[in-house]
Structure 1
């Protein structure tokens, strides 16, 4: 074990002494040589988080760190505690001039561990965030760590993505091998590689930027003093948290720039740094039993980081989901979040392998690894390498599933294959053909029908979003396994009441033909009837609308907003949501979304299909322009009816389209494999 540990140490030394480029030009870091002038850091009297910064000299780095905190702040209330560990310079005198800072001074040098424990003892926050003084924070540094405790079941510790000042990645969570040796995952890689941009469980996270529940920290005895003055204490704390049944989460959205080695140097055979080797032996001895479950030292890193054997699912869809683009994206992102909560490791690939940085971050937020250009190979190459790790594959939409099903069966034969219809394309196309009288579209619908039914027969499980579609397929293919997994929405609840609201809202982009037809019918035939009687009522159109189409939609009272990042302002300020769809299939996310905010809906029968909605109870329904306009005007001025529909709409989402309903469906469809351990500890 000593030889293997030495090899790892020498490899680390070689890396640390590599020639490094200059500071990344994209960083906006605080200058180390800037003259000191007094400033203030945020300081709450009732902090939720206590930021603890231990220091021993190196004043310039400490000031730069505190300036970055002052610059970026946080939404959550926090305090900053600097523990001066008998600094040999004039740090205490200078730092005393920073307003809002809680400055503690050790009477004698206690080392890193002693200083952290002293800061924790004085902290008032529910959470402790240990932060090295040779770091600089970036926007979201604190709030995104806090998210993990709200969004990750059993989270006890959360750690940041660490990068060098030159822009290279320093750490994306730590890995511990069976001999007690450790490795910083992603070291010297590109910091925006999607491999390092998704939340995941880690063996440990660096104490350079580590958040932990204060009660958990005290329950496990804080940083273990046997590692004094420093090194391996963060690994030990993580193992203690895991032994207490808590998870350690790597959070890539909290990015912290870490100079590394400023306080203790880089030479492992000199100064405090030499404790690294001795403390590793101490760590291995203390956690001997737990280390038996860690990967062997020669295990490749990409394999070792998944050693806990979460079952692995690959999801392939036409495009990378974007919650601001369409309801199908929101549904898929929420499904991925639930899969991870249920103990699954999730990888995602778009059929075109394209993904924007924002889309990669959205996937990472729900714990999904984006496989995209230029970072990942083609599906066939990836499956050749990773197919044996897959327990399930979900292929979305018939035109994505059809060309890839045989490939999946061949390269991942052990995987359960799910076909997610999203909605039955042939049913939507049939209805569009009937609505328009288009014979070409009718022939296309029949072709789609044969393809979709063939896929359903060839796959292990088929997912549909609507009870109507479930019943249709049960009649067509009684031998196939069809499961209902509908839209998934958070129930936000009603914000503003009836009198504080005004106007109508339609949500839907022209990239979906039923939406384009609905908008044109709404603007040309429905809204003119409303505007003639109530010119004070505005109509808000939200969604991707081409410029040429916008010109044809400009009429009095119509406000075209296009695509927006957040629907909440309209969901909380408009009085009625509209869904005048004349054809389509599946379940309509625009209806779910409005009802999840307590916003009443007027819709056509097609728009309400398969949603367990009843006219006059949860919704108002009308299928002709005159009746639709009449229903809108009636609801707009009837507070009692509005209140009733608002309450009943919220009940409908809770019962049929909530996370709880979807979680139960997924648990039924994808139970954890028998060889899976307690992934959530």
Structure 2
């Protein structure tokens, strides 16, 4: 829209190719000019972009991506920055009196609180993306605000009233030369309409505004997320890397379930690292991720921001041991859930017994005392298997213990048949020492027996942080892949997977992952523990080298058995390790803690 600019600007615009240019004979102002342009537009989406802006690479891609990712999206705004790089707006906050504030104005635009996808009250009209059909259904920008100001906020409130959501997308960065077109003083000129239209807006949306917080600097952090949402703080050892370990897969899905249950989620890695691209991916999912250098210590975070949260989840014993005292010191009334991930003392007891190591045995006793103390001092605990819940019920009968197990989605689409496959695989992150032991034992004691019956067989070993002791196993029969970004092609080509774990606890993501892709598993009893698995129904179980090798050979030759285990493994996953199963477990513990009893 050329809103009656001077002739020099008009000549410049006429030279631009690839656009339809509409020139107004008189200056209509932002609101009416935008409505005129929207009426002439033919695309699926309408983009409103001020003439005093500069866009940055991939800005539009980020905004469009929100509509692909979030079916509820109705309006998306960009991160606005000043020409010097400081933040101008990370979404807008609307107070109860209809005054607004640009969240984060003049601050460092790279701070974590400004860099995750977020529901907001409104976004500035300097850069807005909205579906054309929705804009038309709302009759465009309301003429009562002509010539400008509050029309963007009014549109955002209308979008919400229509059942859609307003999002701020920090990946879309737009430089806004604020005030170049209309000045910055509200005492004269177009800018004076800001105060006039505030009164009109307050009158129109008084019922909706009654649910907003009062104008107070103490309310800014809670008000930055639109709607009456609970706040959950989750602390784990490090940034989640779901393509590298099953614990990250589970935790990421748990965070997404918390979002579904109405929580705005803040995630803190205990080492306070920002790890690309994983931190950015979590931010893109709407999870606030805190990191250095913006928070010098975890205690500082609890002291300064702890009161914002309605729930704290501490993952793993080391994290709970370090941070539970901060919870009780700074936010004593906030319920704390200790997510054990697995009972570390149970794993350590088994390792000590396997190696007959007295030092490890004493450490396991100390670990048990610590974990039981942490569970008793928490408001509730989460375990991943019925076996571990039974252990805790015997030792701590008064504590509430819920099961929230591994979370995997079943593979959709055709599964390659038995005859299209060959060989077998092992997958597991090698920072987890039971996986190292499993492969060393398999290579030394089981693989030679398999090769006697299947001389062409090959084992594919997949896993991040592979140590030298595993790398040296490579041969014509053992392929050591290390980290593989996309493991599905390997699963699709292999006949079976193995889980020769001799010690451990919890449930095994490697078995879940294999079954999710329709690949049968041969496992030890320890590997299959707590996973609702039955030998020869949905898994093959063997604990000594000869039997383990025999089960691999048997499965490699029996197509009917392979098909049975593949189908039943899929069914077991859907029943016990789906998003729905985890949601039920999490709902139970939240209800026990009286969090959202009417909404979950």
Q: TM-score, normalised by structure 2?
A: 0.88
* CA drift at 1:679: 9.3
* CA drift at 1:550: 4.6
* CA drift at 1:241: 1.5
Which digits, 9 at most, give the CA deviation of each residue in 1:403-441, with x for residues without a partner?
332332232121112111100001101111122221211
Distance in 1 separating the partners of 2:54 and 2:571: 48
* CA drift at 1:194: 0.9
User: Partner residue of 2:22?
Assistant: 105
Q: Unaligned stretches of 5+ in structure 1?
A: 1-53, 60-85
User: Partner residue of 2:201?
Assistant: 283
- Within the candidate set 127, 142, 157, 2:75 is matched to 157
User: Partner residue of 1:596?
Assistant: 516
User: Partner residue of 1:205?
Assistant: 123
Q: Are the equivalent residues in 1 in contact too, given 2:3–2:23 (CA < 8 A)?
A: no
User: Partner residue of 1:89?
Assistant: 10
Where do residues 510-521 of structure 1 align in structure 2 (5 Å cutoff)?
510-521=430-441
Structure 1 counterpart SS, 2:235: strand
Q: Are the equivalent residues in 2 in contact too, given 1:58–1:263 (CA < 8 A)?
A: no
Distance in 2 separating the partners of 1:295 and 1:494: 48
Which digits, 9 at most, give the CA deviation of each residue in 1:365-394, with x for residues without a partner?
343322322112423333233333332222
Structure 2 counterpart SS, 1:403: helix
Closer, same or farther in 2 for the Cα pair 1:323/1:678, shift >3 Å? Answer: same
Q: Are the equivalent residues in 2 in contact too, given 1:612–1:652 (CA < 8 A)?
A: yes
User: Partner residue of 2:301?
Assistant: 382
Q: Are the equivalent residues in 2 in contact too, given 1:493–1:650 (CA < 8 A)?
A: no
Which digits, 9 at most, give the CA deviation of each residue in 1:80-123, with x for residues without a partner?
xxxxxx99523564334x3xx6x363565655444544554555
User: Partner residue of 1:540?
Assistant: 460
Q: Are the equivalent residues in 2 in contact too, given 1:268–1:277 (CA < 8 A)?
A: no
Distance in 2 separating the partners of 1:679 and 1:427: 36
Which digits, 9 at most, give the CA deviation of each residue in 1:550-601, with x for residues without a partner?
5422221333232244434434444433222121100111111222233332
User: Partner residue of 1:238?
Assistant: 156
Q: Are the equivalent residues in 2 in contact too, given 1:153–1:341 (CA < 8 A)?
A: no
Where do residues 72-471 of structure 1 align in structure 2 (5 Å cutoff)?
88-90=9-11, 93-96=14-17, 98=18, 103=20, 105=22, 108=25, 111-118=29-36, 120-121=38-39, 127-132=45-50, 134-139=53-58, 141-142=60-61, 144-149=62-67, 151-152=69-70, 154-252=72-170, 254-261=171-178, 264-268=181-185, 275-300=193-218, 301-306=220-225, 308-471=227-390
Closer, same or farther in 2 for the Cα pair 1:174/1:668, shift >3 Å? Answer: same
Q: Are the equivalent residues in 2 in contact too, given 1:55–1:87 (CA < 8 A)?
A: no
* CA drift at 1:285: 3.1
Is 1:549 aligned with 2:469?
A: yes
Structure 1 counterpart SS, 2:294: coil
Q: Which moved more, 1:332-341 or 1:549-558?
A: 549-558
Structure 2 counterpart SS, 1:90: helix
Distance in 2 separating the partners of 1:479 and 1:390: 26
Output the aligned Cα RMSD: 3.3
Q: Are the equivalent residues in 2 in contact too, given 1:494–1:599 (CA < 8 A)?
A: no
Structure 2 counterpart SS, 1:355: coil
User: Partner residue of 1:650?
Assistant: 570
Which digits, 9 at most, give the CA deviation of each residue in 1:481-529, with x for residues without a partner?
1111111223332455125555433221221111111122233333444
Which digits, 9 at most, give the CA deviation of each residue in 1:226-281, with x for residues without a partner?
334443222111111222233222233x3233343497254456765554444334
Structure 2 counterpart SS, 1:95: coil
Closer, same or farther in 2 for the Cα pair 1:132/1:556, shift >3 Å? Answer: farther
Structure 2 counterpart SS, 1:375: coil
Aligned length: 595
Q: Are the equivalent residues in 2 in contact too, given 1:336–1:366 (CA < 8 A)?
A: no
* CA drift at 1:204: 0.8
User: Partner residue of 1:615?
Assistant: 535
Distance in 2 separating the partners of 1:337 and 1:412: 24
Distance in 2 separating the partners of 1:615 and 1:209: 59
Q: Are the equivalent residues in 1 in contact too, given 2:591–2:597 (CA < 8 A)?
A: no
Q: Are the equivalent residues in 1 in contact too, given 2:402–2:586 (CA < 8 A)?
A: no
Where do residues 554-633 of structure 1 align in structure 2 (5 Å cutoff)?
554-633=474-553
Q: Are the equivalent residues in 2 in contact too, given 1:383–1:408 (CA < 8 A)?
A: yes
Closer, same or farther in 2 for the Cα pair 1:115/1:628, shift >3 Å? Answer: farther
* CA drift at 1:462: 1.0
- Within the candidate set 484, 491, 504, 2:403 is matched to 484
Structure 1 counterpart SS, 2:585: helix
Q: Are the equivalent residues in 1 in contact too, given 2:427–2:510 (CA < 8 A)?
A: yes
Q: Are the equivalent residues in 2 in contact too, given 1:495–1:597 (CA < 8 A)?
A: no
Q: TM-score, normalised by structure 1?
A: 0.78
Distance in 2 separating the partners of 1:550 and 1:317: 28
Q: Are the equivalent residues in 2 in contact too, given 1:141–1:256 (CA < 8 A)?
A: no
Closer, same or farther in 2 for the Cα pair 1:267/1:414, shift >3 Å? Answer: closer
Q: Are the equivalent residues in 1 in contact too, given 2:221–2:308 (CA < 8 A)?
A: no
Q: Unaligned stretches of 5+ in structure 2?
A: none
User: Partner residue of 2:445?
Assistant: 525
User: Partner residue of 1:25?
Assistant: none
Distance in 2 separating the partners of 1:263 and 1:534: 76
User: Partner residue of 1:472?
Assistant: 391
* CA drift at 1:139: 3.5
